[in-house]
């Protein structure tokens, strides 16, 4: 008989995972970690993130060998999810291992992804002050509702965010990164881009922009530009 692990809220070892969402993953394993308010993921791991009234973590891969190489540790309030790459033969083929993590959070103030890792936000992530940091081909996708948000991107990373920022959104992109934020409504925005990076935003009130070295900023909404600076092929344009 096929073995499967099914996670429900307030079910399975009294661990709540993914409110109103069922996860059926034959290789999933619950990890006993708690006390985190930030997530840092790397090594190509795909993180499925849900907000609920409790914390929980589970990991999976296409074999138990690779799953057991996945590390989940909490350091200074940060949940680190990474692959133990001491064995180079395992590491060089990591993209084929389907490394996954299922994370339920109560409160979250930072998401940090690198080295091809990705975070998929399920439903809506509510936060007061949220920081998104993506580099080295990593990605973040989902919907947020926050008072303020700061985004720092580099090295071909991609962030696609919808929802609303009630206060100020700060976005900095460089080295070919892309921020897709037309479906994210921000009251105010400070945007800076360079080295071929792109920023797409929707602003309701005031916008401060700085684009250089081939970077571009496209904006929508009723917001007006408070301050603008372009140089070395950087560009700023309003989109309909």
Short-list 19, 7, 92, CA closest to 52: 19
Collapsing DSSP states into helix, strand and coil, what is residue 136? coil
Predicted TM-score of the model (pTM): 0.90
* Per-domain residue ranges of the chain: 1-108, 110-240
Pick the CATH number of 110-240 from 2.60.40.1180, 2.40.37.10, 2.160.20.120, 3.90.1310.10: 2.160.20.120
Paired tokens of 216: 């571009």
Per-residue pLDDT tens listing for the chain (240 residues): 433 444 433 334 334 444 445 677 888 999 999 999 999 999 999 999 999 999 999 999 999 989 999 999 999 999 999 998 766 555 566 667 899 999 999 999 999 999 999 999 999 999 999 999 999 999 999 999 999 999 999 999 999 999 999 999 999 999 999 999 999 999 999 999 999 999 999 999 999 999 999 999 999 999 999 999 999 999 999 999
Q: Are strands 46-51 and 100-105 parallel, antiparallel or unpaired?
A: parallel
Q: How confident is the model at residue 89, as a pLDDT?
A: 57
For 37-83, how does the pLDDT look when each residue is reduced to its tens digit (9 = 90+)? 999 999 999 999 999 999 999 999 999 989 999 999 999 999 999 99
User: Interior CA angle at 212 toward 210 and 216, to 5°?
Assistant: 75
Paired tokens of 158: 């991609």
């Amino acid at each position: 008989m096929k073995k499967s692990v099914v996670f429900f809220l307030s079910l399975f070892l009294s661990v709540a995972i993914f409110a109103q969402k069922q996860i059926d993953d034959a290789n999933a394993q619950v990890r006993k970690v708690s006390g985190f308010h930030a997530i840092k993921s790397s090594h190509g791991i795909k993180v499925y993130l849900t907000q609920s009234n409790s914390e929980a973590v589970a990991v999976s891969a296409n074999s138990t060998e690779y799953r057991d190489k996945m590390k989940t540790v909490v350091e200074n309030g940060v949940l680190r999810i990474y692959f133990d790459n001491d064995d180079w033969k395992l590491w060089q083929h990591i993209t084929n291992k389907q490394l996954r993590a299922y994370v339920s959070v109560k409160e979250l103030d930072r998401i940090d992804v690198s080295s091809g890792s990705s975070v998929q936000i399920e439903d809506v992530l509510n936060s007061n002050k949220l920081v998104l940091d993506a580099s080295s081909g990593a990605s973040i996708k989902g919907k947020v509702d926050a008072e303020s948000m700061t985004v720092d991107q580099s090295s071909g990373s991609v962030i696609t965010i919808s929802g609303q920022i009630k206060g100020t959104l700060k976005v900095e992109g460089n080295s070919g990164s892309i921020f897709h934020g037309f479906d994210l409504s921000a009251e105010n925005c400070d945007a800076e881009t360079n080295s071929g990076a792109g920023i797409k935003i929707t602003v309701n009130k005031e916008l401060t922009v700085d684009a250089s070295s081939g970077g571009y900023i496209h904006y929508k909404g009723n917001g007006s530009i408070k301050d603008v600076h372009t140089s070395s092929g950087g560009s700023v344009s309003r989109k309909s």
